[in-house]
Amino acid sequence: TQLLEQSPQFLSIQEGENLTVYCNSSSVFSSLQWYRQEPGEGPVLLVTVVTGGEVKKLKRLTFQFGDARKDSSLHITAAQPGDTGLYLCAGAGAGGTSYGKLTFGQGTILTVHP
């Protein structure tokens, strides 16, 4: 069974601060996705990282995939209240019975105070 551990579980910061969310596993994934979920809605994809060591930037968000494709991080620079939400990492199965499936981390609830 592939498991993803996400940390921290809760994060409460002031507007303008930087933060990093981590996603770790002992399993290798073919790709890793980051989703953001707002209250009352389903998760929405932010980014997919595929190659070990890959770094992707989405405005103030920077996503990194570990060299061994087992871990990932999300860094937000100068957080804003609009960044508030639940952030989920999800690993795509590398093959066999895991193919086509996403394994989700527990999520990080981020609150950015004005």
Partner 1 sequence: DAGVIQSPRHEVTEMGQEVTLRCKPISGHNSLFWYRQTMMRGLELLIYFNNNVPIDDSGMPEDRFSAKMPNASFSTLKIQPSEPRDSAVYFCASREPTGETQYFGPGTRLLVL
Which positions lie near partner 1, rule CB under 8 A? 31, 33, 40-45, 48, 88, 92, 97, 100-107
Helix (H, G, I), strand (E, B) or coil at 82: helix
* CA within 13 Å, CB half, 62: 10
The Cα–Cα gap between 96 and 113 comes to: 44
Q: Which of residues 32 and 112 has its CB atom nearest to partner 1 in the complex?
A: 32
Q: Which of residues 88 and 110 has its CB atom nearest to partner 1 in the complex?
A: 88
Phi and psi based region of residue 53 (left: phi greater than 0; alpha: psi -120 to 50; beta: remaining)? left
State the minimum distance, in angstroms, from the CB of residue 44 to partner 1: 7
Joined together, the tokens standing for residue 99 give: 């193919």
State the minimum distance, in angstroms, from the CB of residue 88 to partner 1: 7
Is the distance from CB of 109 to CB of 19 less than 8 angstroms?
no
Q: Which of residues 82 and 97 has its CB atom nearest to partner 1 in the complex?
A: 97
State the minimum distance, in angstroms, from the CB of residue 55 to partner 1: 19
Q: Which of residues 66 and 105 has its CB atom nearest to partner 1 in the complex?
A: 105
